[in-house]
Structure 1
């Protein structure tokens, strides 16, 4: 089982299944919605996804007519997106997962929109939370 929550923990969810597909999206909407150079998400079945706390805190925004982006109205954490023509699937934002296995990304999309300034490799220093 996969568990997760938003930043304020007002919304908590469970996914009763496995994540088998992970994508990195470089589209402009994802970058702007996440405030990051890309979004990492996984398509999951809505039938196996359940908000166990904070349903009333969910808010939707339609940046395009057919796709809603769902976030916490209290802390602003993006949780998932959903195309209205595919109601059986949501694209879960993997940064909100707190428990469960997440496989490595299998592919990237909208690579022509990549942030040219962002490149991460093993040579980039990685510091603990309280950087020296």
Structure 2
């Protein structure tokens, strides 16, 4: 529900990225963060307000990028649906991707 409220949508499309491999080419001075809950932070553009990523203290090396904010295609397809126990009653998942009630930690970096 937290992502639904933050995005004003039925879900959030995000992808994990290793923070050590991230480099902001422009606008790094405009990045802002706020603590949306204890140990969880949402990063956004301080100029336009676009959400760019989230991160959690429990996994400091990973950023969850908001893929809708990326300029170039990822070259990847969706892999799974998480937090489906809290899905909106007005949106139904109709594909055959795996579904999980909460975030599943896998060894797959994609």
Question: Runs ≥4 in structure 1, deviation > 4 angstroms?
Answer: none
Partner residue in 2 for 1:44: 17
Partner residue in 1 for 2:91: 118
Q: Distance in 1 between matches of 2:28 and 2:20?
A: 16
Q: Is 2:52 the partner of 1:93?
A: no
The runs of 5 or more residues in structure 2 that have no matched partner are 95-110
The structure having more radius of gyration, on CA atoms, is 1
TM-score (norm 2): 0.78
Higher RCO (C-alpha under 8 Å, 6+ residues apart): 1
Following superposition of structure 1 onto structure 2, how do residues 1-132 of structure 1 map, counting pairs within 5 Å? 28-119=1-92
Q: Comparing both structures, which one devotes a greater share of its residues to strand?
A: 1
Q: RMSD in angstroms over aligned alpha carbons?
A: 1.5
Task: State the 1:98 CA deviation.
Answer: 1.4
